[in-house]
Structures are given as structure tokens and as C-alpha cells.
Copies of this chain bind each other. A is one copy, B any other.
Amino acid sequence: MTADEFRSAGHALIDWIADHLEGSGDRDVASALAPGDVRAALAEHPPTEPEPFDAVMADVERVVVPGITGWQHPGWFAYFPANNSYPSILGELLSAGLGVQGMSWVTSPACTELETLVLDWMLELLDLPTRFRSTSEHGGGVIQGSASEATLVAILSARHRATEGAVNADGDTTRLVAYATDQAHSSVEKGLRIAGIGAERLRRVDHDERFAMRPDALATAVRADRGAGLVPFFVTSSHGTTSSMAFDPTPEIGQICRREHLWLHVDGAMAGIAALAPEHRAVNAGLELADSYCTNPHKWMGVNFDCTTYWTADRAHLLGALSILPEYLRSAAAESGAVIDYRDWQIPLGRRFRALKLWFAIRCTGIEQFRSMIRGHVALAQELASWVDGDDRFEIVAPHPLSLVCLARTGETTEVANRRTDELIDGVNASGRAFVTRTVLDGRSVLRVSIGARATTRDHVVALWDLLRELA
């Protein structure tokens, strides 16, 4: 493809994307394709001759678009929001166009320094503790690819601190114990497995009726483990759990962690971004006690995946866990101590210039527009919850402080109610007009309505409510 062909194909693709996103509500949310349909509709073998870009885009239209699920659709109420936005798409495009590596400062100084800067911007925008700032004595921030990687990095930092670094050499993790509720994200267990801690050493601390961790239960569990000769080392406090948007009480949990010398990781992947709006800053309560924290601009801030902002108040143990310096990665800049080499802050070595999309989103969208989007989604969720509350065929099964409403069908027995809820979920998802996710809370089937797509308006929530009542 020549530069001129790129210009013409690129202009066409930009227009195609605008048409696609503006028209997302005209398609079904869920793909109607069955397993194997996409592959069967495409060439089974690679071409021997180059093909024109138009031929590839014809396949995108014919096969790929009918095969995607509508994460940008206004009827998207499933999982969590994963919004893109026009400025962010351009940031990703520029990153691909520049084609630089940010593994070390020297491999592209701007890639590192812009990232450090926007991480400090985010601290300011979210009103987070200054101990996470790049200019603080012990802290700093970095973009991770996902909250899962942020959790793993936190576990590894904690493991390094608890073993005083010995784990790097002898790998001995046999006495370490971690704590979270059974509502914490699956990446906590996955991270502990990866790190060689094992699921048997993850204590599932009791939660209360709001699905939030009970601090007294944490304190008791830690005491019991110490009594058994084990080494408690890591606690995940979830700010907005995936299932029900529950908030663990970090101010109390943090006190226990301080007293017991446990690494406290706060997982605010979904909810933390709400702090862009000052009236929602309670979503980050207690962070002054956290050793690490993450939230996802790629969820509720219009920055296309992947962009997890991760901060630590203890970068020495992060670096201790992850830095390795072969000869071919040495540089005078790094050895002077004047620069950050982000390869030592993450699992992989290589890294894209992801700061661009966050920087573009903040500058070209403007903070007020993020705030009004978040406020709008929260208001819609509260309105939906009030409608559910007023209809005795439904009930609300968890607190709904933000944009997630967990509801269920009522029924004479749990079994009947669960069957009705499951049928309701299948009915909504088969409609093509909306897409929701099922979860289970204390044995009950639950229909999650996560309101957060950029294109979702009140009309779409009203339509969902009409659909729910019709199906019930």
C-alpha cells in the first residue's frame, strides 16, 4: 500500500467509523451468528497476491460487523461500559502511526514523559492522594493494559515487600496469604495463581448484606493465619464490584492493613472514574491508606481499551519485583536515575504510546463533558431503580449507588424467581434492542443493568424498562 493509497483508504475508513458509530443504534446489539459462522464466511487460506483495501472493507461489512457485539450500542447494558470516543480513536491512530516503543525512556522520551504527566493530571482530576504523584517521594503512576495486570502487579509488589525481595531469588511463596471477598474480581484469584500463591491461600472474607467486606471478619482471618504460622501479605478492597457495584470499606480495612503490615490494593476499575464528578468522590474513600490503586479510563471515560491507570505509593517494591536489566537495555539516561523506564513497572517489556489517547480524550473532550455523562448515567440508573421498586414483579437486590442496577423477578420460591429472571435475561438479549448480563448474588439469579454507553439516552432506558415489563 503506497502513501497515497493509505491517504485515500484512511479517509474512507475515518468516514466509515463515523458512520458506523453514529448508526450503532440501528443494528442489533447482539450478533445473531452461531459458532463458526464468521470463519466459514471468510477465505480459509491467505491470499498469494495483495488485495485492494476495498475488498478487505467489503469483508468487514459483510462478515465482521454482523459478528460483533455492540459495546458502543446505546442499548448496551451488559458487563460494564467500554466506551471509545472520537478523540481517543485519533490518539490510538497516532500511536500506531508513530510506531514507537515506550519500554525505556531512551526508546522514546516523549512516550514516557507524556504518560507520567497524564497520570499526574488524572490524580488531579480524580482528587486522589498526592502520595501517588510522580513527584512524590515514594509513589508514581503508569498505564497498564488492564485492571487484571494492575492487580497482578500489585500482588507481585506485595510479595516482594513481604519477603524482603527474597522471592525473586528463591521463589518461596509457601506461607503467604491474601484476602478478598468472594465478590472481588476474578483477576484477584487469577493473579494469585499466576504468582504461585495458589487459590487455597486466598481467604474469602465474609461480606455483609450490601456485599461489602466485613472488616471484623478480615481482622479475625488475619489473626487466625498468623496464629497458624502463615504470613498475611495482601488485601484487595473493591470499589465497585463487577457483580453488584459493592464498595468494600477501605477506611476501616486500611487501618487493619496498616496495623498488620499488609499491602492494600484498591480495585476501582469501574467505579473510580466517577470521581471526575466532585459529588462522587466518596468512590475513592480511604485511598490515603492504599499501597496501590487502579481505575479504568477505558471503561467510563471514553478512552478505548486498553488504558488502566495504576498508581502505587511504594514504587521501590514494584521496581524490586519487576526490574531486570540486561546489557542491551542499559542507557546512560536510566543509570543517571533522572528518568523512568516503564518496562520495570509492568509484566511485558514492550509498550505502545497509550498516553496519547488519554491525553487526546482529556484535551479534546473536556472534563465537563465527562462529568455530565457520568451524572447522566447515574441519574438514569436511579430512575430505573425507582421504576423497578414500584413494580411488584421485580425487585432490587443490591444497593445501586452509581450506574449499575441489579434486579430480579419476584417469585414464590427462589427457584421460581431464578427461572423467571433467567428467562427475562434471555428474552432481553434475544430482542436485539438491548443486551444485559446475568450474575448470581448469594444464590439468586440477577439481571444486571449497567448504564454507561456513551450513546445511551433516557429513551433507551425507557425502552429497556418497557421491554422488561413486556417480557415479564
Q: Mark A73-102, 1 if CB is under 8 A from B, else 0.
A: 000000100111111111011111111110
A48 to B438: give the CA distance in the assembly, Å. Answer: 39
Q: Which of A143-151, A224-232, A395-403 contacts B (4 or more CB under 8 A)?
A: A143-151
B349 touches A146 (CB 8 A): yes
B99 touches A439 (CB 8 A): no
A99 touches B121 (CB 8 A): no
For residue A440, which residue of chain B has the nearest CB? Answer: B327
On chain B, the residues within 8 Å of A198 by CB distance are 167-172
Interface of chain A residues 35 through 75 with chain B (CB within 8 A): 35-39, 42, 44-53, 55-56, 60, 63-69, 71-72
B6 touches A121 (CB 8 A): no
Q: Is A457 at the interface (CB under 8 A from chain B)? A: no
CB contact between A92 and one of B84, B96, B171 (< 8 Å): that residue: B96
CB contact between A173 and one of B17, B90, B173, B321 (< 8 Å): that residue: B173
B35 touches A339 (CB 8 A): yes
Interface of chain A residues 88 through 128 with chain B (CB within 8 A): 88-90, 92-101, 105-111, 113-114, 116-117, 121, 124-125
Interface of chain A residues 291 through 323 with chain B (CB within 8 A): 298, 304-306, 321-322
24 contacts between A and B (CB under 8 A): A1-B87, A10-B14, A33-B109, A35-B333, A39-B117, A49-B366, A53-B364, A56-B360, A67-B109, A71-B99, A71-B108, A82-B99, A167-B193, A169-B199, A169-B200, A170-B198, A171-B174, A171-B201, A174-B174, A190-B324, A196-B196, A305-B350, A327-B438, A327-B439
